[in-house]
């Protein structure tokens, strides 16, 4: 007796007569999958968890994450079982007795795929999310290094301005800023009058150091001053 004939005979039993076709199809789907013992199911779940562990870093997962991961494993296993069942039913020939059952299973498969996607998003183990997080993390690290280097550079440099036109003449770094290292600079900035500023500046690194790194600290931006 084929699957369709068995379903039709079962449909006529007293306990199923008052069920809608959808209710009966859902019940048959659950019964069809309720074949393996619990021990076997646990073995399959553990095998699926081991697969996850090979692909993703699961070492620091909290209890809630572990429960979600187990639910994800169950969803994958159930989807696999539904796929096998659908294949078997179609192999026996689709008829009136199996159409509702197959439609019900397809609906369950669609729901499982949605659940699986949500579990992956919640756990952040979907490959696209993990890749995105990794790329973002690297970019943030590089940007952080750049910002630290910029601040270090700004903190160590001294800024020398022309005392006449406020032109930045030099940024310097010396090993011993509190020593009497003398700097002689001349400003060659073109003024609006088309004349050259030509201001001569003599300053020591000690003077710059005592004024927090500049002969005119009031001209420094707040991030440096």
How much is the pLDDT for 186?
A: 94
In angstroms, the CA 34 to CA 27 distance is 11
SS3 159: strand
pLDDT in tens, 78-88: 888 888 887 77
- As a whole-number percent, the residues of the chain with pLDDT over 90 amount to 11
Quickly tell me which residue has 């039913």 as its tokens.
89
When mean pLDDT is compared over 20-29, 76-85, 129-138, 183-192, the highest value belongs to 183-192
CB contact at 8 A, 204 and 181: yes
Residues with Cβ < 8 Å from 168, sequence gap 6 or more? 159, 160, 161, 162
Domain extents for the chain? 3-125, 157-218
pLDDT in tens, 12-26: 776 777 777 777 777
Model confidence at 199, pLDDT cuts 50, 70, 90, reads very high
Mean predicted lDDT score pLDDT of the chain: 78
Counting Cα atoms < 13 Å in the Cβ hemisphere of 131 gives 3
Q: What stretch of H or E contains 214?
A: none
Phi, psi of 122 (to 5 degrees): -65, -40
Check whether 130 has a pLDDT greater than 70: no
C-alpha separations of 21 from 16, 17, 27, 166 in Å: 10, 10, 10, 88
pLDDT in tens, 32-72: 655 444 677 788 888 888 888 877 767 777 888 888 888 98
Fill in the DSSP letter of residue 1. -
């Amino acid at each position: 007796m084929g699957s369709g004939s068995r379903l039709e005979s079962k449909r006529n039993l007293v306990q199923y007569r008052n069920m809608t076709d959808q209710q009966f199809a859902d019940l048959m789907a659950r019964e069809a999958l309720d074949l393996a013992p619990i021990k076997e199911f646990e073995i399959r779940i553990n095998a699926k968890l081991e697969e996850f562990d090979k692909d993703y870093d699961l070492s620091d997962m909290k209890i809630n994450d572990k429960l979600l991961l187990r639910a994800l494993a169950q969803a994958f296993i159930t989807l696999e079982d539904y796929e096998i069942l659908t294949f078997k039913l179609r192999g026996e020939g689709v008829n009136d007795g199996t159409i509702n059952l197959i439609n019900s299973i397809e609906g369950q498969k669609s729901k499982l795929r949605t659940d699986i996607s949500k579990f992956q998003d919640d756990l952040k183990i979907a490959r696209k999310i993990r890749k995105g997080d990794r790329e973002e993390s690297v970019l943030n690290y590089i940007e952080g290094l750049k910002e630290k280097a910029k601040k270090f550079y700004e903190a160590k440099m001294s800024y020398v301005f022309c005392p006449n036109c406020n032109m930045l003449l030099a940024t310097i770094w010396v090993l011993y800023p509190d020593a009497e290292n003398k700097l002689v600079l001349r400003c060659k900035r073109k003024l609006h009058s088309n004349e050259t500023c030509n201001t001569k500046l003599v300053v020591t690194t000690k003077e710059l150091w005592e004024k927090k790194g500049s002969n005119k600290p009031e001209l420094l931006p707040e991030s440096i001053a």
